[in-house]
Amino acid sequence: MPLFNIKNKQLIPIKEKKIDLEKDIQEITGDNLETVFDLKFIAHEFALNGLRIDTLAFDEENKSFVIIEYKKDRSFSIIDQGYAYLALMLNNKADFILEYNEKMNDNLKRDDVDWSQSRVLFISHSFTPHQRNAINFQDLPMELWEIKKYDNNIILYNQLKASEKSDSIKTITKDKTIVSVNKEVKNYTVDALFKDDWNISREWYEKLKTRILELDNRIDEVPTKHYVGYKIGKNVILALNIRKSNIELQLYRVKPTDIKDPEKRVEYMDSSMRYWNKHVSRFYIKNDDDMDYAMFLIKQIYNNYSK
Which residue, 163, 137, 152, 124, is CA-closest to 28?
124
35-52 confidence digits (pLDDT tens) = 999 999 999 999 999 999
CA distances from 286 to 206, 238, 265 (A): 15, 18, 12
Which residue, 162, 164, 201, 191, is CA-closest to 287?
201
pLDDT score for 182: 85
Global pTM? 0.83
| CATH level 2 (architecture), domain 12-184 | 3-Layer(aba) Sandwich (3.40)
- Where exactly are the structural domains of the chain? 12-184, 191-306
How many Å apart are CA 80 and CA 13, to the nearest integer?
38
pLDDT score for 165: 60
pLDDT score for 136: 81
pLDDT score for 171: 64
| Phi (first) and psi of residue 62, to 5 degrees | -105, 0
Q: What is the DSSP string of 144-213?
A: EEEEEEEGGGEEEEEEE--SS--S-GGGT---HHHHHHHHH-----SGGG--TT-HHHHHHHHHHHHHHH
pLDDT score for 164: 64
38-95 confidence digits (pLDDT tens) = 999 999 999 999 999 999 999 988 899 999 999 877 777 888 899 999 999 999 999 9
The fold adopted by the segment(s) 191-306 is Aspartate Aminotransferase, domain 1 (3.90.1150)
CB 158 within 8 A of CB 1: yes
CA distances from 159 to 8, 188, 201, 220, 305 (A): 32, 19, 31, 12, 21
In the Cβ-directed half-sphere of 33, how many Cα atoms lie within 13 Å?
21
Q: What is the pLDDT along the chain (307 residues), one digit of tens a residue?
A: 678 889 888 998 889 888 766 777 888 898 899 999 999 999 999 999 999 999 999 998 889 999 999 987 777 788 889 999 999 999 999 999 999 999 999 999 989 999 999 999 999 988 988 888 888 877 788 999 999 888 888 889 999 887 766 666 666 667 788 888 888 888 888 988 999 999 999 999 999 999 999 999 999 999 998 899 999 988 889 999 999 999 999 999 999 999 999 999 999 999 888 777 789 999 999 999 999 999 999 999 999 887 6
How many Å apart are CA 89 and CA 42, to the nearest integer?
14
